[in-house]
Amino acid sequence: MVAVLLGWNPGVGDTWPGYSRVVDELGASGVYRRAWPTGTGTQPGPGADAWLLLHGKTGSGLLGHGVVASAPHHAGDLVGAAPWVDVDFDVLLPLGDQIPVDILAARAPLTDWAAAATGPCRPVPEEQARAIRELWAECRPADEIDPVLPVPGTLPQDALARVCVNRYERNPHARRVCLAHHGTSCAVCGFSFEAAYGPEGAGFIHVHHLVPAAQLGPGYELDPVGDLVPLCPNCHTMAHRRRIPYSVAELRAMRSRAGYISGSVVSQQELDAQADARRILGST
């Protein structure tokens, strides 16, 4: 068994010692171990992916990931009780940030996702497990984008930049709508990964949320076209250099004052055409 779904309803038999506190604890330590009941069906073994699937009044969706860290065991000396396994969670999202079930169902169709959410432990077929991993990687629910670390000693620690990413910037549907409207070039400097790196860079760009998080009310509804813009990693980092992010106009003004102008990568064919034009016109 390569993966299991762990159904969790915060309103029914909740034994988490304050879920938000657990999220903070995991963020500080990197791992949170918890025993989980597995029911009476097929038992997961150590090393299996464990996906936390939320359901109930707080919403439904994929909320976290962990790894089964033990063989099934019985709690105490209870005879006939269902076994448990220890799970080492490495990512737990705040309630409300889960990947919605409708997106899961579209990417990793199961017979009944609702039923999967209500059971304590349900095995996942390998094909669906692979689809879940791919979806998780696409909208990786990390609070920060890891920096590229230099060779030790080559740069001071404060030269490393991290970009805080909120859940609106991670929303895969909103990202698709944003990029369909704005394109995949940076809205500030015009940089295109596809132009610079070829097909391997196609479609790659950060998406930046223009509305400051402090101004978001409980009834806020995201407008992917008006609220999101594509930014390259450099401009995205600069946007978040202060608590209230810099606007696109402010970032463009910074570049203008610094003497930078927008440009594009010129192909060899274009260079050859320019050389031919100079030759025909008699210029050097």
Q: Which domain holds residue 7?
A: 3-138
Asked if the structure places residue 180 within a domain, the reply is: yes
Among residues 89, 122, 138, which one ends one of the domains? Answer: 138
Residue 186 pLDDT exceeds 90: yes
- Return the structure tokens found at 181: 């409207």
Asked if the structure places residue 278 within a domain, the reply is: no
Residue 260 pLDDT exceeds 80: no
Kindly state whether residues 104 and 175 are assigned to the same domain.
no
Q: How confident is the model at residue 116 (pLDDT cuts 50, 70, 90)?
A: low
Q: What is the pLDDT of residues 117-153, one digit of tens each?
A: 666 788 888 888 888 888 887 665 444 444 334 444 4
Asked if the structure places residue 161 within a domain, the reply is: yes
Asked if the structure places residue 284 within a domain, the reply is: no
Q: What's the pLDDT score for residue 146?
A: 40
Kindly state whether residues 113 and 222 are assigned to the same domain.
no
Q: Which has more confidence, 236 or 29?
A: 236
Kindly state whether residues 178 and 114 are assigned to the same domain.
no
Asked if the structure places residue 264 within a domain, the reply is: no
Residue 157 pLDDT exceeds 70: no
Q: What is the pLDDT of residues 16-73, one digit of tens each?
A: 668 888 887 777 677 888 888 887 777 888 888 999 988 877 778 888 999 998 888 8
Among residues 106, 138, 170, which one ends one of the domains? Answer: 138
Asked if the structure places residue 199 within a domain, the reply is: yes
Q: What's the chain's average pLDDT? A: 76
Kindly state whether residues 67 and 133 are assigned to the same domain.
yes
Asked if the structure places residue 246 within a domain, the reply is: yes
Among residues 84, 110, 138, which one ends one of the domains? Answer: 138
Q: What's the pLDDT score for residue 136?
A: 82
Number of domains in the chain: 2
Q: What percent of the chain has pLDDT over 70?
A: 71
Spatial separation of the C-alpha atoms in residues 17 and 279, rounded to whole Å: 77
The domain spanning residue 69 has which CATH number?
3.10.590
Tell me which long-range contacts 203-207 makes (C-beta under 8 A, separation of at least 24): 203/179, 205/179, 205/230, 205/231, 205/232, 206/145, 206/163, 206/169, 206/230, 206/231, 206/232, 206/233, 206/236, 207/169, 207/174, 207/175, 207/178, 207/179, 207/231
Kindly state whether residues 150 and 86 are assigned to the same domain.
no
Asked if the structure places residue 243 within a domain, the reply is: yes
Q: How confident is the model at residue 155 (pLDDT cuts 50, 70, 90)?
A: very low
